[in-house]
Amino acid sequence: GISGDYEYEHDGVPTYGSSAIVKGPAWTVLVQQDERSALVPVVSTWGTIATIVVLAAAAAVLTSLLLARDMSGPLSALADAAEAVEGGDYEVRVRAARLIEIDTLGHALNRMAEAVRDRETELLDSRNRLAAESEAKAAVIARLGAMSAELAAAEERERRHLAEELHDRVSQILAVARMRLGIARSFGEPDSEGLDGVDALLGEAIAESRAITGELASTALYELGLGPALAETCEKVTAQSGLTVECALPGDLECVPDDAKPILLRAAREMLANVVKHADTTSASLSVSLMDGCVLLTVADDGVGFDASEAADHEGFGLASLRERVVHIGGSLK
């Protein structure tokens, strides 16, 4: 009257059994089987599972070895490239790898090396440019120092020259006039002839004073304008040196800025003086033209000429000073 599963020994053999009650008659059905026979399927299943586990483990180990081999090479190359970049070699590059992560790292390292290389190139160019600018500024400072010294010397020469001109051309005339005036007074009565001589001497002194004043600052420039002042300069050069100067001027030069007018007049005087001193010719030309908001003053001659490249290395104070003045107002001298 009992049903269920049993484990017991039957004739000394471990046995599994199962019983069930049959409804109706009072029967009980008992099915039994020894343990070894019963466990054959289980043992077979576990053996299969063990085999599968061993094969899976072997496959995992093999896959790990293959992955390690595939990773070790690119990682080693990546480490070598990083060490090279750290050492300053920005041309090193990492080859493409099969693993996406390592390949991404390689591309990032390559971009970093290129960026550092480009920045280093920019910094080197900047350093070279700053060095060149520093040398240029040092040269300009040295040139300005030399010009300052020359300017002081030129100023002293001009002071001495002006003193000599006043002494020789004005003071002596006034001294003679005074002497003649004293003689005229000594006669008791006015000596008309002596007074006429004194008047002539005083007129000469006035003329010389005006001439010296005109040499220092052009009266024509401030009273009549740039065009008449340039024309007067050409006439004076012709009268004083015999150099025939052909003057070609536009109708109206009053559009020229006021700060440029005295510099243009000085340029004309300086260049014509150079023609007289060095050109070995009897004719020259001075012309002024207006174009595109600029003033072009040209002095030319048909004399012996010169080597411009050599002249630039031995430029006198007159032209050097003139060049600086022209550059200061935004122009150039060639």
Q: Please, which pLDDT band fits residue 292 given cuts at 50, 70 and 90? A: confident
- What mean pLDDT do residues 311-316 have? 66
266 contacts 218 by C-beta, under 8 angstroms: no
Tokens linked to 31: 């099915």
Q: What is the mean pLDDT of residues 208-218?
A: 66
Cβ neighbour number for residue 323 with a 10 Å cutoff: 16
Distance of CA 131 to CAs 119, 128, 139, 247, Å? 18, 5, 12, 47
CB-based contact 248:283 (threshold 8 Å): no
Euclidean distance between the first and the last CA atom of the chain, given in angstroms as a whole number: 136
Read off the amino acid at residue 112. M
Span of 7-11, 47-51, 75-79, 134-138 with lowest mean pLDDT? 75-79
pLDDT tens readout for residues 247-274: 999 878 888 888 888 889 889 998 999 9
**Burial 270-302, CB ≥16 within 10 A → b, else e:** bbbebbbeebeeeebbbebeeeeeebebebebe
Question: Who wins on pLDDT, 321 or 189?
Answer: 321
pTM flag (> 0.85)? no
Instruction: Kindly list the strands in the beta sheet with 13-22, ordered across the sheet, starting from the edge strand earlier in the chain.
Output: 4-10, 13-22, 27-34
pLDDT > 60? residue 141: yes
Residue 69 reports pLDDT greater than 60? no
Distance CA 76, CA 286 (A): 80
Name the phi and psi angles at 246, rounded to 5: -85, 120
Pairing of strands 27-34, 244-248: unpaired
Give the pLDDT confidence of 25-67 residue by residue, as tens digits.
666 666 666 666 666 666 667 667 777 777 777 777 666 655 5
Burial code of 5-17, b = ≥16 C-beta within 10 A, e = fewer?
eeeeeeeeeebbe
Residue 122 pLDDT class (50, 70, 90 cuts): confident
